[in-house]
Chain A
């Protein structure tokens, strides 16, 4: 017993030592850093196409229209960041793609989710299970609650693999050890026998990531993967994402409301508001020339260290009630540039460039240019 205590203490100390430096353990060699820089999305291969997705939830108070026509594409090896404030439908989008919307009360009203030429919304539960965790994996927000406290890490890592592929216990174990090494967990062989409470938060998130990767998925959905972590660990986890993408070419949908995270690892950005994608584009396009007033407001509200202004710039008002969403543009009530038409008709999608699209009347060809 004392020996084991000592081992535990040693493991803890090691873990701490490994977490404190700002560079993640697994990405320290020059070669790997080089690899990371060379990562390029392959825009000729579409992995996922979400088309006009409508999802509602029936509640006592009525029907919440959580998604009201969400469309976007995802290409091989790219990271698409989905941003927006709380309640805009980011997580519902992620859960719907993953097939995790409880039905009822949830309901996919219309739209398609095309993954490898299969419409995920049409699959029954058994068919969906052959996709979940195999082709599409999910990383959850809070690593403290995402792992089952009563099962050993090893089992939680390998059970997905052993469910979906006919592999022996030893092979699954080997793969698990390999993966733990990749995500930067020291002594993986011993660690497999431990329980989640014997790991720190950052370590647990690494394990959650390893679990998501075990069947070598093509699509990784990360629902605010760094929100519950402290800042130094956040940076490590983000680097881990980049490294994994470089290694496996996996496509990532990153749900977040942290624009700093977006700036660091996203290729493209989709901005959601009130259940719609209101602006989508290349990272540079969205960051440097945001066209939707909401996107502008969002970027302006980020606190900056290089400006002397002390007050934060919030977007005034609150998002619309999704029990009875407005007919026109949902941002009208908060928009400093709102016009009469905004209130009455939802704007069509304007293509500003091949990648940059926005749903705003100000960008409509018929609108007068009122501001630069």
Chain B
């Protein structure tokens, strides 16, 4: 296990490095520069600014500086908002995005698994059909469409909930709903199908033959096995939810990281782009790593195979 973690750690670093490099060169290949607006049209001012931000240096030197920035995790000040460092922006935006993301995941996992389990237990019953109808709609409707519809109905027409911003738990409901519906639907479908498969397994019959309570049979014997595929897609789903927050944050005017990220690309604010990309990818890679660890806990067979492979 320890060897596995160390191995994964180095792979994580390599992944982040590749992402960082790609981002750097992609960023520099986009036309335009941070100093394109009218105030800085004077060539001398531009040259001075470029010198100040070390953008006049050759690309490879800039790349090395950039790598240094990653290692020390100091991306310097934002170009567009000179009195704010990238780190400050991240520190302000990330907790909000994280909160939205975590609440979304929690809602999606809990409701998705519950829905899928009940659908499987009432296979071909009303609950099953209802849950699967919901799942098809949830998967098909993009979250930004859902977000606007929710605002229209629940916030504007019925005035039950605030339409935007992020200041109280009440404000969290709509963005979370908009963001969580898709993942919930996917998890529900996946849980249902894998649960249906698990329910026909011999060990389930054996659990019934032991005269165990239905609760224990479902939660101890069935669910743990049925969750394997769900955990497998959790990694990619995390990525989906994180990128989903960009759009949702804009629709609901939430001051999370998505806002800075989109703005920074529009403004060619190089330090902010680099900082947030590296930060995001590091976070995502770490989450995927966590998912793999959980996977090993759920299925003891996986741990052993790795052990044998590593030795």
Q: Is the CB of B209 within 8 A of A98?
A: yes
**A159 beta carbon closer than 8 Å to chain B:** yes
Contact with B along A133-145 (1 / 0, CB 8 A): 1100110111001
Nearest chain A CB to B9's CB is how many angstroms away?
17
Interface residues of B in 70-99 (CB under 8 A from A): none
Q: Is the CB of A151 within 8 A of B221?
A: yes
Q: Is the CB of A150 within 8 A of B210?
A: no
Please, how many angstroms separate the alpha-carbon atoms of A125 and B208 in the complex? 11
Q: Contacting chain A: which of B139-147, B158-166, B231-239, B298-306?
A: B298-306
Nearest chain B CB to A36's CB is how many angstroms away?
27
Q: Is the CB of A147 within 8 A of B211?
A: no
Residues of chain A lying within 8 A (CB to CB) of residue B298: 150
Q: Is the CB of B216 within 8 A of A130?
A: no
Q: Is the CB of B301 within 8 A of A195?
A: yes
Asked whether A140 and B210 contact (CB < 8 A) given A148-B221, A151-B221, A197-B300, the answer is no
Residue of B2, B205, B206, B299 touching A1 (CB-CB under 8 A) = B2
Nearest chain B CB to A295's CB is how many angstroms away?
30
**B51 beta carbon closer than 8 Å to chain A:** no
Q: Is the CB of A131 within 8 A of B211?
A: yes
**A334 beta carbon closer than 8 Å to chain B:** no
Nearest chain B CB to A102's CB is how many angstroms away?
10
Interface residues of A in 146-164 (CB under 8 A from B): 146-151, 159-160, 163-164
Nearest chain A CB to B302's CB is how many angstroms away?
10
Most buried by A among B202, B216, B301: B202
Closest to B223 in A: A150
**A257 beta carbon closer than 8 Å to chain B:** no
Q: Is the CB of A164 within 8 A of B202?
A: no
Q: Is the interface of A mostly helix, strand, loop or mixed?
A: mixed
Residues of chain B lying within 8 A (CB to CB) of residue A140: 202, 205-206, 209
Please, how many angstroms separate the alpha-carbon atoms of A131 and B208 in the complex? 11
**B213 beta carbon closer than 8 Å to chain A:** yes
Residues of chain A lying within 8 A (CB to CB) of residue B221: 148, 151
Please, how many angstroms separate the alpha-carbon atoms of A150 and B225 in the complex? 7
Interface residues of B in 293-311 (CB under 8 A from A): 298-301, 304, 307, 311
Nearest chain A CB to B282's CB is how many angstroms away?
28
Q: Is the CB of A150 within 8 A of B224?
A: yes
Q: Is the CB of B300 within 8 A of A195?
A: yes
Closest to B209 in A: A138
**A291 beta carbon closer than 8 Å to chain B:** no
Interface residues on B, range: 20 to 34
Asked whether A160 and B202 contact (CB < 8 A) given A149-B225, A197-B301, the answer is no
Residues of chain B lying within 8 A (CB to CB) of residue A131: 211
**A211 beta carbon closer than 8 Å to chain B:** yes
Residue of A5, A133, A148 touching B225 (CB-CB under 8 A) = A148
Please, how many angstroms separate the alpha-carbon atoms of A150 and B300 in the complex? 6
Asked whether A148 and B205 contact (CB < 8 A) given A159-B212, A163-B213, the answer is no
* Given contact pairs A1-B307, A141-B202, A150-B299, a sample of 16 additional A-B residue pairs in the complex whose CB atoms are under 8 Å apart: A1-B311, A2-B311, A5-B307, A100-B205, A130-B211, A133-B212, A145-B203, A148-B225, A150-B300, A159-B220, A163-B211, A163-B212, A195-B301, A197-B304, A198-B304, A211-B206
A sample of 30 inter-chain contacts (CB < 8 A) reads: A1-B1, A1-B3, A2-B311, A5-B307, A5-B311, A129-B212, A130-B211, A131-B211, A132-B208, A133-B209, A133-B210, A133-B211, A134-B211, A140-B206, A141-B202, A142-B202, A145-B202, A147-B203, A147-B206, A148-B203, A148-B207, A149-B203, A149-B225, A159-B212, A160-B211, A163-B210, A163-B211, A163-B212, A208-B206, A211-B206
A-B residue pairs, 7 tightest by C-beta: A132-B211, A133-B211, A133-B210, A145-B202, A160-B210, A129-B211, A148-B203
Mark B residues whose CB is within 8 Å of A.
Answer: 1-3, 201-203, 205-213, 216, 220-221, 224-225, 298-301, 304, 307, 311
